[in-house]
C-alpha cells in the first residue's frame, strides 16, 4: 500500500490489476474531490470526518467487498487511513482495525530488505509530479504467521486545484504465485541453458547426456521420476532408455510398453501435444497404463511431451509424480516441451556422431585394406621372383651334390647352400601366405596331434626360462586345413610368445577346446564381416610376457613392422594371411605387463570325419628317357633344369618364351615327351602357351612350374584341363617324381 503518485487519473484501466475496480475508484475519487474543492476545505473537523467515513465505507464497500485486491484510501494532511477493504486482512493477515489504530503497521510489515527502499520511494513521490511508469511498486511483506508474500501496489493520487496531492487511493494485489512462477521459469531457463551448454561442449555418450537431462529436469520441475522413452524400429514398442528416480537418486532403463496394449495413449502422443494427466489413473489418455505400468510404481500423475525428429514421432519425455496426484501448470508443460526438444537434438547429434564415427572407421578400414592389398600384391610378386632365383640356386646345388663325390669336403658346403635356399623358400612362402597366394594343400587335420608333433621343435624355440604347458580337451574334432601352414602359424606364435617372456621366468600355455562360438566372437582384424556362429575348434596360445600397447596392436599385422631387431616382422602378417585362407578367425588380446592371448578359431568338422591316408607317390623311373621341353623366361631356371634333367638321362630342349616353345613343337613335336612350362612369362603367358600346346597335341603331358601356389594355378585353368604342377624352388627328386607321374598317366607316354 505505497502511496506512489500518478498524473491525475491518467491511467490505463486495461493495464491495471482489475480494470472494473480502477474505473470505480476513478468515479469515487471524482465525487470526493467534488466535495473538497480546495486545500482549505480539506481540513475538516473530526466531526465532519466522522460523518464522511460511513459514506466512504458504503461506497467503497459496494465496489470492493468481493474483490481479491486490497483497496485503500489515504488522507495526506492528517496522514490517516480513511478506508481499507476486507481483502487486506486476507493478504496481510492483519485486521483493518489494527491497521487504522497503528498506521505504521503497514511499513512494519514490509520485508526488511525492501523497507528502506519503499519508505524513500513513498516520501519522494509525494513531492513531485510523476509519470505513469512511476505509479507501480512491487515489494515483499512478512505476515504475522511468518509467511512472505509479494505485493504489487498501484496508486491513484487525488489533487486539489493547486496540483497538490491531498489524498491517495490504491489497489494492492497479492502476486506471490506470479513471482513463484517467474522464479520457476528463470530456474527452468537456467537449467535448459546449462543442459544446452553441457550438450554442445561435453559431447558425452548418449546415456550420460540423457542421464544429465533427466536428473536436472526432475529436480527443476519437482518430479519424482523423469524418463526418456523411444520407439523401436518397427514402432511396436516403447522402451525406456533412461530413467531417473529422484527419491532414490538412481538411474535405470529397460522397461518396455507394447504399443498394442495402450492405443489411446499412443494416439494422444501422435497429436503432437503434451499430455498433462493430473490423475493418470483416471485420465482417458493414460488410464490404460494403470495395470501395465502405473500401479507397479505407485504413479499418480504424468506429464508427457512427445519427442519428434524431422517430423517423426521417435519417443516421449515422461515426468511422473508418485503418491498423490499433482496439478501440472502451463509453465510445467512449456518446460517439458523444451526438454523434449533438447532430447531430440541430443539424439540427433548422437546419431550424427555415430554415423560420422562409422564412416571414419569404414574409411580407415578401406584405406587399411587397400594398403594391405597393395602390400600383398608386392609381397606375392617378390616371393615369385625370389622363388625363380632360388630355383636356380637350389637346382644347381642339388645337381652339384650328385656330381661331387660323397667324401668331398664340398658336400658340406653344398648342403649348406641347399639348406639356405630352402629356408629362403620358406620365407617366400610366408610372403605368399600373407598375400593370400600361398600354396594350400587342404585335408583333414588332427590339430592336437599336430601340436604334439611340434613339441620338440617348440621347446627349441622357447627360451630356457620359459615353461611350456599343454591343455587339450577330450575328443577334439578334426579341422580342414593345410597341415604345413598350421605348423607355421603355431611356430610363429610360440616364437613371439617366447620372445615376449624374454629372459625372465614365464610360461606359455597352449589350450585347445571344441565349443560353440557366436558370430561376435569370430571377428578377425582387418575383416569387416565376422564368421558365422557354429562349432569351432579353438586353439589358444597365451604367454605371461610383456604384452603390447595399443600402438603395437594397431600395427602388428603390417608386414615388416616389428618391435624386435631389424629383419623380422613377417610372422603375424603371414599368420593373418593363413587364417584368412582357412576361413578361420584370429583374435589377439594384450595389454602392457599383462601378457598376450592369441585365439585361433577353426571350423570344426563333423565327429565322423577321419584322417586321410598317406599318399603313395610312384617311384622315379629306373631308366628315365625321352625329351623334355623346358620353357621359362629366367635363364638361371633353364640352366638348372637342363643340368638336372640331362644328369638324369633326359634329352632337353630349352625355350626362353612362348614363341620359341611353339616353334620347337612345330619342328619336332613328335619327339617331345613332356613340357615343363613356366606360368608367368612376358609376351605370351603360360596359360596361352598351354592352350596352343593343346591344339598341337592334346595328349602331351604338361607340367606347370611357378613360384605361386598350386591353388593359384588351378584358378587359371579350366577344371577339366588342370595340368600337373610343381612349385619353385624344387629339387631333382621332386622334379623326377612329377615328370614320372605326368608321363605314366599320359596316353602319349
User: Residue 17: which residues within 8 A CB-CB, separation 6 or more?
Assistant: 69, 152, 154, 171, 173
pLDDT category at 135 given cuts 50, 70, 90 is low
Q: Which residues pair with 226 in a beta bridge?
A: 244, 319
pLDDT at 730 > cutoff 50: yes
User: Tell me: the pLDDT tens digits for 648-663?
Assistant: 889 999 999 999 999 9
CB-based contacts of 270, cutoff 8 Å, min separation 6: 313
Position 131 pLDDT exceeds 50: no
Kindly state the percentage of the chain with pLDDT values over 90: 25
Q: What pLDDT shows up at residue 61?
A: 63
- The candidate with the shortest Cα–Cα distance to 71, out of 17, 110, 145, 115, is 17
Q: Is the peptide bond before 729 cis (omega within 30 degrees of 0)?
A: yes
Confidence (pLDDT) at 210: 86
Instruction: Give the DSSP H or E segment for 511.
Output: strand 506-517
pLDDT (0 to 100) of residue 302: 95
Of 32-36, 90-94, 394-398, 553-557, which has the strongest mean pLDDT? 90-94
pLDDT higher for 279 or 45? 279
Over residues 490-502, mean pLDDT = 85
Lowest mean pLDDT among 49-53, 467-471, 665-669: 49-53
Q: Given this model, what pLDDT does residue 415 score?
A: 82
- Cα–Cα distance measured from residue 748 to residue 631, given in angstroms and rounded to the nearest whole number: 20
How many Å apart are CA 37 and CA 59, to the nearest integer? 20
Average pLDDT (112-117) is 89
Closest by CA to 81, choosing from 66, 90, 89, 71, is 71
Q: Rounded CA gap, 357 and 429, in Å?
A: 38
Q: pLDDT of 422-453, one tens digit each?
A: 777 766 776 666 565 655 678 899 998 988 88
pLDDT in tens, 94-105: 888 888 788 677
CA proximity to 434, closest of 566, 531, 570 = 570
pLDDT of 128 > 50? The answer is no
> In this predicted model, which residue has the larger pLDDT, 265 or 195?
265
| pLDDT at residue number 534 | 92
On the question of pLDDT at 51 being above 80, the answer is no
Portion of the chain with pLDDT greater than 70, in percent: 78
Higher pLDDT, 673 or 744: 673
Residue 195 C-alpha from the chain's centroid: 22
Average pLDDT value for residue range 226-235: 92
- Of 69-83, 120-134, 447-461, 678-692, the range with the lowest mean pLDDT is 120-134
- Residue 644 and residue 635: Cα distance in Å, rounded? 14
Task: Report pLDDT for 108.
Answer: 87
pLDDT for 40 equals 39
- Comparing 171 with 59, the larger pLDDT belongs to 171
- The pLDDT confidence band at residue 27, using thresholds 50, 70 and 90, is low
Question: For 661-686, what is each residue's pLDDT tens digit?
Answer: 999 999 988 889 999 999 888 888 88
**Is 516 or 382 the better-scoring residue by pLDDT?**
516
Q: How far apart are CA 547 and CA 544, in angstroms?
A: 8
Selected residue with higher pLDDT from 429 and 128: 429
Provide mean pLDDT across the span 601-621: 74
pLDDT of residue 741 exceeding 50: yes
The backbone torsions φ and ψ at residue 675, rounded to the nearest 5 degrees and listed phi first, read -120, 130
Q: What is the DSSP letter of 618?
A: P
pLDDT tens-digit map of 358-375: 888 778 777 766 776 776
Task: Taking residues 25-32, report their average pLDDT.
Answer: 52
Question: What is the Cα–Cα distance from 612 to 598, expressed in whole angstroms?
Answer: 29
Determine the pLDDT at residue 414: 84
Amino acid at each position: 500500500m505505497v502511496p506512489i503518485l500518478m498524473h491525475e487519473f491518467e491511467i490505463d484501466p486495461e493495464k491495471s490489476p482489475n480494470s472494473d475496480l480502477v474505473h470505480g475508484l476513478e468515479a469515487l475519487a471524482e465525487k470526493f474531490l467534488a466535495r473538497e474543492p480546495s486545500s482549505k476545505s480539506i481540513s475538516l473537523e473530526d466531526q465532519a470526518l466522522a460523518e464522511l467515513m460511513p459514506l466512504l465505507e458504503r461506497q467503497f464497500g459496494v465496489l470492493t467487498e468481493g474483490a481479491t485486491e486490497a483497496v485503500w484510501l489515504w488522507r495526506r494532511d492528517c496522514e490517516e487511513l480513511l478506508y481499507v477493504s476486507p481483502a487486506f486482512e486476507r493478504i496481510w493477515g492483519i485486521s483493518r482495525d489494527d491497521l487504522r489504530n497503528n498506521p505504521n503497521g503497514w511499513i512494519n510489515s514490509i520485508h526488511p530488505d525492501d523497507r528502506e527502499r519503499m519508505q524513500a520511494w513513498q516520501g519522494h513521490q509525494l513531492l513531485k509530479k510523476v509519470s505513469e511508469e512511476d505509479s507501480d511498486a512491487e515489494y515483499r511483506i512478512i505476515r504475522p504467521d511468518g509467511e512472505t508474500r509479494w505485493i504489487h501496489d498501484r496508486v491513484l493520487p487525488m489533487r486539489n486545484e493547486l496540483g497538490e496531492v491531498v489524498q491517495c487511493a490504491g489497489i494492492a494485489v497479492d502476486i506471490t504465485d506470479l513471482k513463484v512462477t517467474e522464479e520457476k521459469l528463470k530456474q527452468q531457463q537456467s537449467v535448459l541453458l546449462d543442459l544446452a551448454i553441457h550438450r554442445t561442449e561435453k559431447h558425452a555418450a548418449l546415456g550420460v547426456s540423457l542421464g544429465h537431462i533427466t536428473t536436472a529436469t526432475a529436480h527443476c520441475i519437482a518430479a519424482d521420476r523423469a524418463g526418456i522413452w523411444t520407439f523401436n524400429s518397427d514402432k511396436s514398442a516403447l522402451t525406456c532408455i533412461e530413467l531417473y528416480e529422484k527419491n532414490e537418486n538412481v538411474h535405470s532403463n529397460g522397461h518396455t510398453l507394447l504399443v498394442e496394449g495402450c492405443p489411446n495413449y499412443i494416439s494422444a502422443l501422435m497429436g503432437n501435444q503434451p499430455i498433462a494427466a493430473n490423475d493418470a489413473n483416471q485420465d482417458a489418455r493414460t488410464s490404460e497404463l494403470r495395470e501395465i505400468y502405473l500401479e507397479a510404481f505407485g504413479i499418480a500423475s504424468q506429464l508427457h511431451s512427445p519427442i519428434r525428429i524431422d517430423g517423426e514421432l521417435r519417443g516421449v519425455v515422461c515426468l511422473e509424480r508418485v503418491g498423490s496426484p499433482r496439478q501440472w501448470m502451463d509453465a510445467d508443460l512449456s518446460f517439458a516441451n523444451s526438454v523434449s526438444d533438447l532430447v531430440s537434438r541430443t539424439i540427433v547429434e548422437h546419431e550424427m556422431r555415430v554415423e560420422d564415427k562409422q564412416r571414419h572407421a569404414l574409411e580407415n578400414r578401406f584405406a587399411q585394406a587397400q594398403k594391405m592389398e597393395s602390400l600383398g600384391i608386392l609381397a606375392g610378386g617378390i616371393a615369385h621372383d625370389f622363388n625363380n632365383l632360388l630355383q636356380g640356386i637350389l637346382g644347381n646345388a642339388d645337381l652339384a651334390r650328385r656330381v661331387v663325390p660323397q667324401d668331398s669336403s664340398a658336400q658340406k658346403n653344398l648342403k649348406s647352400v641347399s639348406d639356405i635356399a630352402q629356408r629362403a623358400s620358406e620365407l617366400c612362402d610366408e610372403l605368399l601366405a600373407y598375400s593370400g597366394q600361398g600354396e594350400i594343400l587342404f585335408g583333414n587335420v588332427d590339430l592336437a596331434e599336430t601340436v604334439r608333433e611340434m613339441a620338440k621343435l617348440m621347446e627349441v624355440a622357447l627360451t630356457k626360462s620359459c615353461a611350456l604347458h599343454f591343455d587339450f580337451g577330450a575328443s577334439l574334432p578334426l579341422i580342414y586345413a593345410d597341415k604345413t601352414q598350421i605348423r607355421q602359424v603355431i611356430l610363429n606364435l610360440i616364437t613371439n610368445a617366447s620372445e615376449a617372456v624374454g629372459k625372465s621366468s614365464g610360461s606359455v600355455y597352449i589350450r585347445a577346446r571344441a565349443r560353440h562360438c557366436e558370430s561376435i566372437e569370430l571377428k578377425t582384424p582387418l575383416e569387416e564381416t565376422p564368421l558365422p556362429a557354429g562349432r569351432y575348434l579353438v586353439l589358444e596360445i597365451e604367454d605371461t610376457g610383456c604384452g603390447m600397447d595399443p600402438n603395437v596392436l594397431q600395427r602388428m599385422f603390417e608386414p615388416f613392422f616389428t618391435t624386435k631387431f631389424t629383419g623380422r616382422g613377417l610372422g603375424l602378417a603371414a599368420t593373418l594371411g593363413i587364417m584368412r585362407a582357412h576361413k578361420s578367425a584370429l583374435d589377439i588380446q594384450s595389454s602392457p605387463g599383462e601378457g598376450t592371448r592369441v585365439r585361433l578359431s577353426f571350423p570344426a568338422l563333423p565327429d565322423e570325419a577321419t584322417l586321410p591316408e598317406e599318399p603313395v607317390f610312384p617311384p622315379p623311373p629306373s631308366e628315365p628317357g625321352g625329351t623334355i621341353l623346358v620353357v621359362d623366361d629366367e635363364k638361371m631356371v633353364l640352366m638348372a633344369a637342363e643340368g638336372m634333367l640331362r644328369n638324369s638321362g633326359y634329352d632337353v630342349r630349352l625355350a626362353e618364351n612362348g614363341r620359341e616353345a611353339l616353334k620347337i613343337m612345330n619342328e619336332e613335336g613328335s619327339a617331345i615327351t613332356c613340357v615343363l612350362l613356366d606360368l608367368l612369362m612376358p609376351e605370351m603367358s603360360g596359360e596361352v602357351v598351354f592352350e596352343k600346346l593343346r591344339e598341337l597335341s592334346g595328349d602331351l603331358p604338361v607340367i606347370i612350374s611357378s613360384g605361386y601356389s598350386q591353388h593359384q594355378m588351378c584358378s587359371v585353368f579350366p577344371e577339366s584341363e588342370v595340368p600337373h604342377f610343381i612349385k619353385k624352388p624344387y629339387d631333382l627328386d621332386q622334379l623326377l617324381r612329377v615328370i614320372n607321374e605326368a608321363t605314366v598317366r599320359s596316353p602319349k607316354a
